[in-house]
């Protein structure tokens, strides 16, 4: 489970050989969610409203990098870290 990014106690990660559609996983304390990269909608789970806004804003800024990581993890198992919100 490669960690892609971490900010404000939110951890963003992806799995190797995941199912479609392209998405990433989010962990914040006891909350867990999956967000679709194309639509930036929660596919499963939930986050508090403030953290959901932060993750959505971050993902909107890095959508291209997220999709690149998704494809790279599925094809070669490699990934790159993405700049966190500050």
Q: Could you tell me the residue ranges of all domains in the chain?
A: 3-74
- pLDDT for position 60: 98
DSSP notation for 56-86:
HHHHHHTHHHHHHHHHHHHHTS-----PPP-
Radius of gyration of the chain (CA): 12
Tokens of 29: 């304390």
**Which segments within 8-47 are labelled E, that is strand?**
10-13, 23-28, 31-36, 42-45
Work out the mean pLDDT of the chain and round it to a whole number. 95
Q: Which residue has the higher pLDDT, 15 or 56?
A: 56
Q: Give the pLDDT confidence of 42-54 residue by residue, as tens digits.
A: 999 999 999 999 9
- pLDDT for position 52: 98
What is the distance between the alpha carbons of residues 59 and 9, in angstroms, rounded to a whole number? 16
DSSP label at residue 19 = P
Q: Which residue has the higher pLDDT, 32 or 77?
A: 32
The model's pTM: 0.94
Average pLDDT over residues 3-12: 97
């Amino acid at each position: 489970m490669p960690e892609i990014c971490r900010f404000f106690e939110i951890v963003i990660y992806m799995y190797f050989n995941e199912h479609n559609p392209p998405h990433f996983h989010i962990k914040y304390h006891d909350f867990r969610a999956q967000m679709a990269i194309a639509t930036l909608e929660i596919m499963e789970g939930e986050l508090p409203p403030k953290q959901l806004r932060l993750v959505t804003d971050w993902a909107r800024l890095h959508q291209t990098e997220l999709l690149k990581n998704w494809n790279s993890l599925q094809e070669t198992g490699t990934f790159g870290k993405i700049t966190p919100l500050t």
